[in-house]
Amino acid sequence: MNILDSILNHQDGAAVQQLAQQFGLGNDQTISALSALVPQLASGVQQNLQQPGGLQGLLGALASGGHEQYLNDTSRLGAPSTIDDGNGILGHVLGSKSVSHEVTANAAAQTGISQDLLKQMLPLVATLVMGALARQTSRAGAAPAAAQSGGIMGEVASMLDANHDGSAMDDVVGMVGKFLGGTR
């Protein structure tokens, strides 16, 4: 299951319902927003994994961040501390506010939802992405550390590999190209 499906389907779409209510959107609009934002965040995660120490950094964040709480108790999405956590995630995943602005501009162009609203939503979506990754990686279980790292990397790669061809990179590049309005 990829990250977007994991968020949309967890607890019968509780995250979709919470975000829709919180931002005054319909469920279809919220799904559209998530469909535009999540792949771009997944691309950032994938790029971070390619960096030296990227896997260890992600594993550390997933192990200590308590991110799964955002999927399991979606009422937390309304808390100011969630926005702070989400902004921290965005700093690591996207690297800069200008990239965050690009992400929301691309999503606004694709969905017709205002960029300002998507800017408010983005930190919460970042917490949901990390929550979905944390949920998947927690299933890797209590294997020894080396095996667990391989298992977790496999889980992450699987969630980022939308077409299940064994490589997430082509999917990430395709997602980014789609959102930037061209092919790469």
Helix (H) or strand (E) holding 7: helix 3-9
Give the residue extent of every domain in the chain.
3-180
Predicted TM-score (pTM) of this structure: 0.75
* Predicted pLDDT at 2: 83
Per-residue pLDDT tens digits for 108-155: 999 999 999 999 999 999 999 998 888 887 665 533 343 444 444 455
In the chain, the percentage of residues whose pLDDT exceeds 70 is 74
Structure-model confidence comparison of residues 176 and 101, the more confident one: 101
More confident residue, 172 or 58: 58
> How many residues would you count in the chain?
184
Mean pLDDT of the 64-77 span: 86
> Is the predicted pLDDT of residue 174 greater than 70, yes or no?
no
CA atoms within 13 A on the CB side of 61: 25
The residue with greater pLDDT, 104 or 44, is 104
Residue 113: the pLDDT is 96
Average pLDDT over every residue of 75-100: 89
- More confident position, 134 or 160: 134
What are the distances in angstroms from CA 106 to CA 47, 83, 102?
18, 21, 6
